[in-house]
Amino acid sequence: MSETRTDQYRLTGLDCADCAMKLERRLRALPGVAAAAVNFASAKLTVTHHAAEDAILRAIRDAGYAIAVQPPPDGAHPCACAACDLQRPRPWRTHGRVITTALSGALIAAAWLLDHRAPLGLPAIVLYLLAMGIGGYWTFRRGLSALRALSFDMNALMTIAVSGALLIRQWEEAGVVAFLYSLSNLLESYTMEKTRRSIRGLMELAPTEARVLRDGEEQCVPVAMVRPGDVVVVTPAAKIPVDGTVIAGASAVNQAPITGEAMPVEKRPGDPVYAGTLNTLGALEVRATRTADDTTLAHIIHQVEEAQARRAPAQAFIERFARWYTPAALGAAGVIAIVVPLTLPLFGIAAPWADWCYRALALLVVACPCALVISTPVAIVTAIGTAARHGVLIKGGVHLEQAGRIAVIAFDKTGTLTRGRPDVTDVVALDGMATDGLLGLAAAVERRAAHPLADAILRAASRDGVAIPPAEGFRALPGQGAMAVVGGTPTYVGSPALFAELGAATSAAEPHVRALRDDGKTAMLVGTDERILGIIAAADGVRAESAGAIRGLRRAGIRQVAMLSGDHAEVATALAARLDIDAVKAELLPAAKTAAVAALRAEHGAVAMVGDGINDAPALAAADLGIAMGVAGTDTALEAADIALMADDLSRLPYTIRLSRRTLGIIKQNIVLALGLKALALALVFPGWLTIWLAVLADMGASILVTLNALRLLHERPRAGER
């Protein structure tokens, strides 16, 4: 047996969600095809098969779609192929449709003028038939292919309707319907193209060429030829071509395409940079750390395309409904065309066959579920693409829907609500000691320590310009502090328990220590084995946007905000009071955090957990929605989270909740709109008021309206007040 392989194809002319579903099912039925999936959002087809490529290509072409074959090169990231080989669809020119539609419309106008100057004659009939043939060419081609496969998509239904109109000698109807359907397809292609631009916009962020230093000279090479270790020169106002680390130069880089950050970020040697971001003023030399097909941007594009391909629960329900709905509509049309004309005369009611056949044809057209099928995915696709442009990666429609139903959000504390780095907040000198002298003494002891609190003391001394005396004999005291000999005297920095063990008198320091701890700070004593010289307090700084983000979440409809922390209860409680958090659970091990998530769900409903994506993995997995933040450049967190905030920016959280809830609202509006227009049109069938061309307008008009309604999500953006 031939080796199984997976190929990707870009399809042009894919403007009907129902038709995409039926194409998917037709391909799955081919011999040798193991799996087929059509991503309607990006017009991408993925097929797993063995020795069936010819049959696949023939089936796609028979269905009336153009193909751009995209087998990913060995070792390449799938999205790199999509980014490099994507052929831009041009909805106003694809397959010459705009020309055939315009010509068909001109012929209809000419036929109408002839028809209304004199009784319908041969010239007008010929013009109507020409308009039908030219305007309906692509429809008939796809429709006949679908009928041969017994797949009743919109093209097949339109082919039946136009053929039926010809059989009952409704020349004008046949021509007008073909023209209107062609025009509607153009309009729908145009509106769908706007939703697909979200992915293409991401693809176009990265430049195609890079300036690489080789043998001491700058060479301009295709970005695909840049390898890890190469040094890339980035000039002012140029885009960074690959992920890497700055090795020379300083500048500010606009990272909004990746992280959604509003302001440029300062970059110096040692700082990471990402492909697709914009260098502003200074020149940079960057050592590449990844190839072009493995950058953070490439991973984001891949994740967005995969997310748009995943069916949300509402979408899956609509598709199951449509699977039964279309056969039911066909059956109803058969009853109207055959049973009614045979039955009514038995009751003495005249029922001309041509009239009821016409009504059945109108029913076939208006009953097509295209607008209903597209009502959900077009909103989800637009929302996911919009979120990605603002630094929020939503991993699929199911997670987008879940975000809209969240009742409670639980935060990890360290690194999420806080910066994850302690800073010195208070220096309390005792026993006649000066504050600068106390800080310098503590810095001398901690100079060789490897601890976040030691780093905080050294940063504070450097910031205040404090002189640090020499020290020797450094010794770490695990769990208690550190010791070094300063000026010939053994000096200690550590916890009150350490000094109690040394036998030093701590009574003067105790009121200060209690007050600092009550304020959520960590108190460190500085002194000798005999006396306390002072106290230095440090705290993990609260993120500037934390308070605004929590207020924004409440405005977005979140009923309960909780904090789950492994920190001391005093510290966690003080922070919760400062940020107006409803519930606090502190001193939790990872397993206890998972249990706390379950308790919140039982009490309040669906729970979202926000953490760093790695340390909080068990709690993120246990929550109904796991949200990781600050994952730019972190593949593990990018893959693991349900929703990933690319920057360390909590203001994106209320934006995400608000976007998801608005998306759910638009989905409901779209379903009501699609079904409402169908119901209204169907009510006109039995009195005979529904014409076939009016049925076309009702069907395709509904499709265009639900798409335009979904496009309103493109304008949803974060609010300044949530920072």
For the stretch 598-608, pLDDT in tens is 899 999 989 99
| From 412, 540, 649, 699, the catalytic residue | 412
Q: What is the pLDDT of residues 216-246, one digit of tens each?
A: 788 899 998 899 999 999 999 889 999 999 9
What average pLDDT does this structure show over 53-64? 80
Between helices 154-167 and 17-28, what is the axis angle to 10°?
Answer: 110
**504 phi, psi to nearest 5 deg:** -75, 150
Has residue 23 got a pLDDT over 90? no
Max avg pLDDT among 150-159, 264-273, 349-358, 701-710: 264-273
**pLDDT score, position 2:** 61
Instruction: Render the burial of 699-718: b for 16+ CB within 10 Å, e for the rest.
Output: bbbbbbbbbebbbebbebeb
Say how far apart CA 378 and CA 17 lie, in whole Å: 9
**pLDDT score, position 550:** 93
Say how far apart CA 554 and CA 552 lie, in whole Å: 5
Nearest to 37 by CA among 61, 20, 53: 20
436 is annotated as an active-site residue: no
**pLDDT score, position 246:** 94
**pLDDT score, position 607:** 93
Say how far apart CA 403 and CA 316 lie, in whole Å: 18
**Tokens describing residue 614:** 């790695």
Cα pseudo-dihedral 163, 164, 166, 171, rounded to 10: -110
How long is the chain?
A: 723
**Tokens describing residue 260:** 């959604």
User: What is the three-class DSSP state of 114?
Assistant: helix
**623 phi, psi to nearest 5 deg:** -75, 160
**How buried is residue 74: exposed, middle or buried, by Cβ count under 10 Å (0-12/13-18/19+)?**
exposed
Say how far apart CA 570 and CA 513 lie, in whole Å: 12
Residue 302, amino acid? H
Max avg pLDDT among 41-45, 143-147, 161-165, 705-709: 705-709
pTM of the model: 0.70
Say how far apart CA 163 and CA 147 lie, in whole Å: 13
Half-sphere exposure of 335 (CA within 13 A, CB side): 9
Has residue 283 got a pLDDT over 70? yes
Q: Point out the least confidently predicted range of 253-262, 299-308, 690-699.
A: 299-308
Q: Point out the least confidently predicted range of 135-149, 354-368, 452-466, 623-637.
A: 623-637
* Strands 532-542, 418-429: pairing kind: antiparallel
Is the distance from CB of 719 to CB of 686 less than 8 angstroms?
no
User: What is the three-class DSSP state of 288?
Assistant: strand
**pLDDT score, position 493:** 94
Is the distance from CB of 164 to CB of 361 less than 8 angstroms?
yes
Residues with Cβ within 8 Å of 468's Cβ and at least 6 positions away in sequence, in order, are 440, 443, 444, 447, 461
What average pLDDT does this structure show over 420-424? 85
Say how far apart CA 322 and CA 111 lie, in whole Å: 37
Residue 35, amino acid? A
Q: Point out the least confidently predicted range of 333-337, 467-471, 557-561.
A: 333-337
Return the beta strands (E) in 630-668 as ranges: 643-645
DSSP annotation of 88: P
Placement of tokens 């302690």 in the chain? 422
Residues with Cβ within 8 Å of 526's Cβ and at least 6 positions away in sequence, in order, are 438, 441, 442, 445, 491, 492, 493, 532, 533, 534, 535, 536
User: What is the three-class DSSP state of 488?
Assistant: coil
Has residue 402 got a pLDDT over 70? yes
Domains and CATH numbers, the chain: 5-94 (3.30.70.100), 209-294 (2.70.150.10), 420-542 (3.40.1110.10)
Q: Point out the least confidently predicted range of 180-184, 391-395, 467-471, 491-495.
A: 180-184
Say how far apart CA 87 and CA 105 lie, in whole Å: 29
Q: What is the mean pLDDT of the chain?
A: 81
Nearest to 139 by CA among 106, 110, 179: 179
Nearest to 523 by CA among 448, 457, 433, 437: 457
What average pLDDT does this structure show over 487-500? 91
**pLDDT score, position 260:** 63
Sign of the four-CA dihedral 229, 230, 234, 238: negative
What average pLDDT does this structure show over 572-586? 89
Max avg pLDDT among 341-350, 432-441, 516-525: 432-441
Cα pseudo-dihedral 129, 135, 136, 141, rounded to 10: 120
Going by pLDDT thresholds of 50, 70 and 90, the confidence category of residue 314 is: low
Has residue 361 got a pLDDT over 90? no
Has residue 91 got a pLDDT over 50? no
Has residue 115 got a pLDDT over 80? no
Has residue 84 got a pLDDT over 50? no
Going by pLDDT thresholds of 50, 70 and 90, the confidence category of residue 512 is: very high
**pLDDT score, position 191:** 65
Say how far apart CA 679 and CA 704 lie, in whole Å: 17
**Tokens describing residue 589:** 């091990």
**pLDDT score, position 522:** 84
